[in-house]
Chains A and B, each alone.
Chain A
Amino acid sequence: MEKKLVHLTIDGRPIVAEEGQNVVEVAKANGIFIPSLCYYPHIDPPLGSCRVCTVMANGRSAAACTTLVKEGMDVVVNTDELQDWRKAVVEMMYAEGNHFCPSCEKSGDCDLQGLGYNLGVTVSRFPHLFVDHVVDYNPQRMVIEHNRCIRCRRCVEEVLTDEGQRVFSFQNRGNTTEVGIDYEQEAKLTHEQAMQAMHVCPVGAILVRGKSLARPRGDRKYDHDTVVSEVPLPKITALKPHLRRKKIVATTSLAGCFGCHMSMLDIDLDLVELIDLVEFNKSPLTDIKKFTKRADVGIIEGGCCNSDNVEVLKAFRENCDVLIAIGECSIWGGLPAMRNFVPLKECLVEAYSSATNNTESKLVIPHHPDLPEILDRVYACNEVVKIDHFVPGCPPDAGHIWKTVKNVLFGEKYAITHSEFKYD
């Protein structure tokens, strides 16, 4: 029997579709992209759990995957507001989980990461929740990385044994909801079924031992996606003379690795142009230790792990008109924040007593009035002072850093190219 056809509009475009299809599919077939994460074509009915595909259907917000097309339906996908809502939902996932892309096996193959790039997520507007999750090594052939799970529920619906038993199931409720795995059922999966489980996971939460880095760099799912096209930029030298007063810039590296500073110097010949435009005050580049002038812009690398970091950061806030946090560590803590799930004392005991290369039997934790004191956890810079702009990346691309700085200093319009904004 032939399916009935219905007429609808998406973003004002008239579209004809088969009755019973969902909005994600219909939009896709007509070349309109609606981001989605939990949606997996043969899970029927769709789950509607991630909410990343939120659109307006007949004036009401709804998940596109659970909305079936109807005669006369009016769907709106792309407005500033809707794009912001969808982006917010993805940012919530970053704030809720512990996503350390540089150390993740799925990096480059990860749908969440791909979507982050796609939607232009630079920093989560929501504070990181830093909830400790376990990494479960008990299953026979899998490792379950709960830190990365986004509770999309795909695995719960998709991964079944030959007897039809579920291997995964949601546990608990509310903010403690997590995916549980049944060890007994997991052992019954064939190798192909286990690989399918890893594949069905949109992030790096389900890993099959020995197979986690199956695809080499260059062959990964998102290696060839280009999202933002190259836009020609006006040269600063073309700007009006009165905008060319030498601006004062200060920089510092707090709990970081100086990688961002290294990256900052990677603009090669543009450095020559830059010297004409700015003067560095307090900075490791000049070795000026204390502010001697008020700065237009302060560039911060690294988060705060000790009392000295806090002091320096506060001095920057007091002495700079605008603060720009560069790199993951300054934005939310970054790699040093991996200690945030472990009580400080445990960290110190591990470092100064239990570590195997330490021959001392007695625990001595360094402390001296001249030494900075260590904070209970690593703090993002904006937890300590107000930060005006964020440049993500590990490290951020030199072009990205300077375009941002020049925009702040001279109001120069800029576009970030895809290659400048992809870190996996």
Chain B
Amino acid sequence: MKTHFPDEPLRSHTLDMLWQAQDEKGYIANEDIARIASQLQISEVELEGVASFYHFFHRKPAGKYRIYINNSILAEFKDYRDIVRAFEKATGAPLGGTDPTGTFGLYDTPCIGMCDQEPSALINFYPFTNLSPAKVDQIIDSLRSGVGVEFLANAVEDNIRYTPEREKTILLREFVPGKALQALTRWTPGEVLSEIKESGLAGRGGAFFPTGVKWELCSKFESDCRYIVCNADEGEPGTFKDRVLLNRLPGLLIEGMIVAGYAVGACRGIIYLRAEYRWLLPKIHAAIEMYEHLGWLGADTTAKEPFRFDIRVQIGAGSYVCGEETALLESMEGKRGEPRTKTFFPVEKGYLGRPTVINNVETLCAAARIMELGHERFSSLGTPVTRGTKLISVGGDCNRPGIYELEWGMTVAELLELCDAPDPYFIQVSGPSGQCISAWDSHRRFAGEDLLCGGALMIFDSTRDILQIIRNFTAFFKHESCGMCTPCRAGNFIFSRKLDKMARGLGSLQDITEMQQWGQIMKRTTRCGLGMTAPNPLLYALERFPEYFEQKLDSTRTGFNRSFDLESALEDYREAVQS
């Protein structure tokens, strides 16, 4: 399978070269850094900067079997700690290190897109879901006895729970390969563009930018080559809809990319796949091969106007911020995944400075369906602002977690009933960077006019501690900030310290006021969307659940700072004088 196009610079191979070194011996050694840096003709410190940016790259031996346990909030509420203990006991490796023999390495990692089947883990990037301590023992025993990890991994369920009635289902309907591409043999690129524009399709990654407009903008910038990039870096905790599309309908995605390529006049397509979904790679490669055989990729096609297109896959290496489109481009160019400044939009200067369309997996799949079903069918569904249907990943305290394809306009209450959530209390819409609503808000509609949803719905019942949820989210942002701008790098750190203080029952009203003020400052001063949305979990929760925070405060108001604990501050000294 093609890993790169011949005209791409060597620097774009950086992540692959680092992966290759790590796959060979389980980590990236100093001599690998020296060798790759000299191949790329960059200084070692620059390459080290790239390697250390991505959390799946190890610079120290990390075990023959590298185990990554999901630490997202849904896992935390589903016995994450028991699973960690079970792995620690079975492997002899402490979390964050390896066992003495170097066989197992144990690490925690943010959401791996399995929120409907937690607790879950990846072992050498093969998925293991619905874990229990007993299952963990079994897995480790089998690995010790020499069974290949690929034979132990379990099949990941798609858990498609709901689709609208047959003629209203857009994405998750029956798939007949080539159907979306038939129109290309009759239509000019301009006609395809207007079809997508007419449909009213807007970006399904969460920003909801009109897809047709994006494609048209890109097609107008002169270039020797334009790129279609599929953003399959589904990192927002709680979201797993793209996993299901990639697992079930990889062909639909390829068709969507071909449609986009034809409409925009692009010659190359790249799927940026998050490392957590490496196990889906064979399926995607098989789909690409199929379309090569069908004559739609890698050769002159039968489209109405001359068109030749090619697709490859780029594997990420563990970084949430790479889901931000300009950070994703930096990552594809073999650099640290730091978002770019918005002087140019990718449609003008994107990958390698060429005009580039970056679309989410679901957007491209929907585009293919629009070609297949016609724009009227699509735009007749949904609400005036948001047309068509939307995939929602539902997880947490409900009896039917999984994927729901719903027509825009459905109420929260309807969805809560479909997924059988008996006691919804705190509902996080669109992941940590989105917003929380309470059960009182369940009359609200999923629609551009009311409540937009990028694809995740996490349900927490009234036994869950709100502060624990927010601390998990803040720890996530602190870990995933690219570190480039002050308010995000330092701000999330400061926030997490404050939340620790509240968790110890020592928060004051002043702490709350300060966090509200500081959150606003962060939102206004950070460099990209990550920092802008990072204070959201707390700010929304304070607005929605004031009574919860009231009881977390220090009620004595003596002017003594209760977070200062004299006894614990003296422990070190007492220990020192005794020894």
Interface residues of A (CB under 8 A from B): 45-52, 54, 61, 63, 66, 68, 84-85, 88-89, 92-93, 95-96, 125-127, 129, 150-151, 153, 161, 165-177, 180-182, 184-185, 307, 310, 314, 317, 343-345, 348, 365, 367, 373-377, 379, 382-386
Please determine whether B343 and A85 come into contact, CB atoms closer than 8 angstroms: no
CB <8 Å contact, A169 and B525: no
The distance from the CB of B446 to the nearest CB of chain A, in whole angstroms, is 27
Provide the bound-state CA to CA distance between A367 and B568, in Å: 18
Contact present for A168 and B570 (CB under 8 Å)? no
Q: Are A92's CB and B490's CB within 8 A?
A: yes
CB distance from A53 to the nearest CB of B (A): 10
Closest to B532 in A: A61
Other than the known A63-B527, A85-B525, A317-B560, what 9 A-B pairs have Cβ atoms closer than 8 Å?
A: A61-B524, A127-B498, A151-B484, A173-B53, A173-B481, A174-B483, A177-B489, A182-B43, A344-B572
Q: Name B487's contact: one of A66, A89, A373, A374 (CB within 8 Å).
A: A89
A-side contacts of B14, CB under 8 Å: none
CB distance from B499 to the nearest CB of A (A): 12
Asked if residues B577 and A175 are in contact (CB atoms below 8 Å), the reply is no
Q: With contacts A151-B484, A181-B45 known, is A317 near B52, CB below 8 A?
A: no
Q: Give chain B residues whose Cβ lies under 8 Å from the Cβ of A384.
A: 560-561, 564
Residue of A nearest to B492 (CB): A175
Nearest residue, chain A, Cβ from B44: A182
Q: In the complex, what's the smallest C-beta–C-beta distance from B43 to chain A, in angstroms? A: 4
A169 touches B559 (CB 8 A): no
Question: A307 contacts which chain B residues (CB < 8 A)?
Answer: 566, 570
**Could you say which of B43, B489, B564, B574 contacts A166, with CB atoms under 8 Å apart?**
B43
A175 x B489 contact (CB < 8 A): yes
Whether the Cβ atoms of A383 and B563 lie closer than 8 Å is yes
| Contact between chains at B570 and A175 (CB < 8 Å) | no
Q: B43 and A185: CB pair below 8 A? A: yes
Whether A48 contacts B524 in the complex (CB less than 8 A), given A68-B343, A168-B45, A383-B564, comes out as no
B375 sits at the interface (CB 8 A):
no
Choose among B49, B492, B572, B573 the residue that contacts A180 (Cβ–Cβ < 8 A). B49
B46 in contact (CB, < 8 A)? yes
* Residues on the A chain within 8 Å of B319, using CB: 173
| Contact for B572 among A95, A168, A345, CB less than 8 A | A345
Residues of B within 8 A of A181 (CB): 45
Contact, CB under 8 Å: A54 / B525: yes
- Bound complex: CA A127 to CA B481 (Å): 20
B498 cross-chain contacts in A, Cβ below 8 A: 127
The interface centre, meaning the residue of A126, A129, A151, A170 with most chain B CB atoms within 10 A of its CB, is: A170
| Complex interface: chain B residues within 8 A of A172 (CB) | 52-53, 483
The interface residues of chain B lying within 8 Å CB-to-CB of A344 are 572-573, 576
CB-defined contacts of A92 to chain B, threshold 8 Å? 486-487, 490-491, 494
Across the interface, do A151 and B45 meet the contact criterion of CB distance under 8 Å? Answer: no
Is B518 at the interface (CB under 8 A from chain A)?
A: yes
A352 to chain B, nearest CB (A): 10
Given contacts A175-B490, A307-B570, A367-B577, contact A48 B485 (CB under 8 A): yes
Interface string of B28-64 (1 = CB under 8 A from A): 0000000000000111111011001101000000000
Expressed in whole angstroms, the Cα–Cα distance for A153 and B336 within the complex equals 13
Instruction: Decide if A89 touches B45 in the complex (CB within 8 Å).
Output: no
- Give, as a whole number of angstroms, the nearest-CB distance from A179 to chain B: 9
* Complex contact A167–B486 (CB within 8 A): no
B49's partner among A169, A174, A310 (CB-CB below 8 A) is A169
Q: A49-B485, A169-B45, A174-B479 are in contact. Are A379 and B525 (CB under 8 A)?
A: no
Residues on B with C-beta less than 8 A from A184 are: 43-44
A153 to B482, CA, bound (A): 13
A171 CA to B52 CA in the complex, in Å? 6
Q: Does B571 contact A376, Cβ atoms closer than 8 Å?
A: yes
Q: In the complex the two chains form, is B491's CB within 8 Å of A170's CB?
A: no
User: Please, how many angstroms separate the alpha-carbon atoms of A348 and B578 in the complex?
Assistant: 12
Q: Which 9 A-B pairs have the closest CB atoms?
A: A177-B483, A182-B45, A169-B49, A96-B490, A344-B572, A165-B43, A367-B577, A66-B341, A376-B572
Contact check, A174 vs B481: say whether CB atoms are below 8 A apart.
Answer: yes
Residue of A nearest to B520 (CB): A85
Q: How far is the CA of A166 from the CA of B55 in the complex (A)?
A: 23
- Say whether B575 faces chain A, with CB atoms less than 8 Å apart: yes
CB distance from A392 to the nearest CB of B (A): 19
From residue A418, how far is it (CB to closest CB) to chain B in Å? 26
CB of A46 within 8 A of CB of B341, answer yes
Bound complex: CA A345 to CA B341 (Å): 47
Q: Is B485 touching A129 in the complex (CB atoms < 8 A)?
A: no
Say whether, besides A88-B518, A89-B525, A170-B336, A386 and B559 are in contact (CB < 8 Å): yes
Chain B residues, CB < 8 A from A171? 45, 48-49, 52
Evaluate contact between A386 and B561: CB separation under 8 angstroms: yes
**Selected contact of A373 from candidates B341, B493, B564, B573, CB within 8 Å:** B573
**Which residues of the partner chain A approach B579 to less than 8 Å between Cβ atoms?**
345
Chain B residues with CB under 8 Å of chain A are 41-46, 48-49, 52-53, 55, 319, 336, 338, 341-343, 478-487, 489-494, 497-498, 514, 518, 521, 524-527, 559-561, 563-564, 566, 568-577, 579
Which of B48, B343, B479 contacts A66 (CB under 8 A)? B343
Q: Please, could you name 8 A-B residue pairs with CB atoms under 8 Å apart, sorted by A?
A: A49-B484, A63-B341, A92-B491, A93-B490, A177-B482, A317-B559, A345-B575, A345-B579
Contact B45 A45 (CB under 8 A): no
* Bound-state Cα–Cα, A48 to B518, Å: 20
Cβ of A48 and Cβ of B573 under 8 Å apart?
no
**What residues on A are CB-neighbors of B487 within 8 Å?**
51, 89, 92
Whose C-beta in chain B lies nearest to the C-beta of A317?
Answer: B559
Decide: A51 near B483, CB < 8 A? Known: A171-B52, A177-B489.
no
Q: How far apart are B409's CB and chain A's nearest CB, in angstroms?
A: 30
Q: B494 and A66: CB pair below 8 A? A: no
- Cβ of A63: which chain B residues have Cβ within 8 Å of it? 341, 527
A89 partner, pick from B42, B486, B514, beta carbons under 8 A: B486
- CA of A180 to CA of B52, assembled, Å: 11
Across the interface, do B576 and A170 meet the contact criterion of CB distance under 8 Å?
A: no
Rounded to whole angstroms, the CA-CA distance of A325 and B571 in the bound complex is 27
A255 to chain B, nearest CB (A): 13
How many angstroms between the C-alpha atoms of A168 and B341 in the bound complex?
21
Contacts of B44 in A (CB 8 A): 182, 184
A150 neighbours in B (Cβ, 8 Å) = 486
A172 to B338 CA separation, bound complex (whole angstroms): 12
A384 to B561, CA, bound (A): 5
Question: B489 to A96, Cβ gap below 8 A?
Answer: yes
Q: A125-B514, A169-B45, A345-B576 are in contact. Are A96 and B563 (CB under 8 A)?
A: no
Query: Closest chain A residue to B54 by CB distance?
Result: A173
B531 to chain A: closest residue by CB: A51
Contact between chains at B490 and A379 (CB < 8 Å): no
Taking CB atoms, residues of chain A closer than 8 Å to B527 are 48-49, 51, 63
Query: Please, which residue of chain B has its CB at the minimum distance from the CB of A163?
Result: B41
Q: How far is the CA of A112 from the CA of B563 in the complex (A)?
A: 31
A169 to B560 CA separation, bound complex (whole angstroms): 44
Contacts of B479 in A (CB 8 A): 173-174
Contact A180 B45 (CB under 8 A): yes
Q: A314-B560, A373-B574, A386-B561 are in contact. Are A177 and B569 (CB under 8 A)?
A: no
Residues of A within 8 A of B563 (CB): 383
CB-defined contacts of B489 to chain A, threshold 8 Å: 96, 151, 174-175, 177
Residues of A within 8 A of B478 (CB): 174-175
A175: which of B46, B483, B560, B574 is its contact (CB, 8 Å)?
A: B483
- Known: A48-B341, A375-B570, A376-B570. Contact between A365 and B576, CB under 8 A? yes
Q: Tell which of B52, B53, B341, B491 touches A45, judged by Cβ atoms closer than 8 Å.
A: B341
Contacting pair B483 A374 (CB below 8 A): no
CA A51 to CA B489, docked complex, whole Å: 12
B58 to chain A, nearest CB (A): 13
Cβ–Cβ contact A166 & B577, under 8 A = no
Residues in A with CB closer than 8 Å to B560 are: 314, 317, 384-386
Taking the closest CB of chain B, its distance from the CB of A336, in whole angstroms, is: 14
Inside 8 A of B485's CB, which chain A residues have their CB?
48-51
A176–chain B nearest beta-carbon distance, Å: 7
